[in-house]
């Protein structure tokens, strides 16, 4: 799935062994094509704010934890550098997408 601003939502299925058993875990990977240093800075701030707010919310609600998130820089086949954000849960990925779009609108 691709957003209007070039953001991609990808799903990776992984098989993980734990104590001799296999189970399937879906990772959600969001790719962001950031155009300049200003967007990269805004993106880094949004990730930090999202995780901080999610952690605070999770502290009062024992059913929710802060999201497990991994961020890396990837190079697409055409040589474009992008940020890839991997979430262990699709709900956290969607929540971050909403947060990121809201952050961009508020900054404009």
Predicted confidence (pLDDT) per residue in 17-71, tens digit: 334 445 455 788 998 988 889 999 999 999 999 988 887 775 544 455 667 889 9
The domains of the chain, with CATH numbers, are 8-107 (3.30.200)
Assess contact for 88 and 25: CB atoms under 8 A: yes
- CA distances (Å), origin 57, targets 18, 53, 70: 29, 6, 20
**Mean pLDDT throughout 88-99?**
90
How many CA atoms does the CB half-sphere of 1 hold within 13 Å? 10
Q: Give residue 98's pLDDT.
A: 93
Tell me the three state secondary structure of residue 57.
helix
Confidence band, pLDDT 50/70/90 cuts, at residue 8: low
Model confidence, pTM? 0.69
């Amino acid at each position: 799935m691709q957003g209007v601003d070039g953001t991609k939502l990808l799903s990776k299925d992984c098989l993980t062994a734990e104590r001799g058993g296999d189970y399937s875990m879906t990772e959600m990977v969001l790719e962001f094509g950031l155009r300049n240093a200003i967007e990269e800075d805004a993106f880094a701030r949004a990730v930090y704010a999202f995780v901080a707010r999610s952690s605070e919310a999770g502290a009062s609600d024992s059913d929710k934890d802060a999201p497990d998130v991994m961020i890396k820089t990837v190079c697409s086949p055409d040589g474009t550098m992008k940020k890839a954000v991997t979430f262990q849960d699709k709900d956290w990925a969607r929540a971050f997408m909403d947060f990121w779009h809201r952050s961009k609108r508020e900054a404009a």
